Amino acid sequence: MKSVYFLCIAAMFLGISSAEDAWDGTEDPEDWPKTFPECGGKKQSPITILQAKSEDWTPTDRKNKKFEMKFDGYDKEASVEAYNTGYLANITFKNSSSEKPRITLTQNGETVEYYLTNIDFHWESEHGFYGRRSDFETQMWHRNLDKNRVIALAYLINECSDSEEEEELNMYQELVVAQDIVEYGNSYSYTEVPKTFMPRNYQCGYFMYEGSFTTPPCTEGVTWFVYRKTLCLSEIVINAFKTMQNKNGKRIESNNRPFQENDPELVYLSCNEDPEDDEDDDDER
Ligand SMILES: *[C@@H]1O[C@H](CO)[C@@H](O)[C@H](O)[C@H]1NC(C)=O
Ligand SMILES: *[C@@H]1O[C@H](CO)[C@@H](O)[C@H](O)[C@H]1NC(C)=O
pLDDT block averages, 10 residues each, the chain of length 285: 45 42 82 95 96 92 97 96 94 94 96 97 97 97 95 97 84 91 95 95 96 96 96 95 95 95 94 90 51
Is 99 touching ligand 1 by the criterion CB < 6 Å? Answer: yes
Give the model confidence (pLDDT) of 124-141 as tens digits.
999 999 999 999 999 999
Q: For residue 266, which phi and psi values (nearest 5 degrees)?
A: -115, 130
| Structure confidence at residue 162 (pLDDT) | 77
pLDDT of residue 130: 94
Alpha-carbon distance 217 to 239, whole Å? 28
Residue 148 Cα to ligand 2 midpoint, Å, equals 15
- Residue owning the nearest CA to atom 5 of ligand 2: 92
Predicted confidence at residue 166, as pLDDT, reads 86
* 214 close to ligand 2 (CB < 6 Angstrom): no
Structural domains in the chain, CATH included, are: 1-31 (no CATH), 36-284 (3.10.200.10)
Residue closest by Cα to atom 13 of ligand 2: 215
Task: Give pLDDT tens digits for 9-56.
Answer: 444 443 344 444 568 888 899 999 999 999 999 999 999 998 888 999
Q: Quick check: CB of 78 below 6 Å from ligand 1?
A: yes
Single out the residue of 214, 176, 234 nearest to residue 88, CA to CA.
214
Is the CB–ligand 2 distance for residue 215 below 6 Å?
yes
Ligand 2 centroid to Cα of residue 282, in Å, is 32
Cα–Cα–Cα angle for 191, 192, 198, rounded to 5 degrees: 170
For ligand 1, is residue 77 a contact (CB within 6 Å)?
yes
> Does ligand 1 have an atom closer than 6 angstroms to the CB of 81?
no
Residue 85 CA: nearest ligand 2 atom is 14
Q: CB of 167 within 8 A of CB of 232?
A: yes
Regarding the beta carbon of 92 and ligand 2, being less than 6 Å apart is answered: yes
Note the pLDDT of residue 163: 72
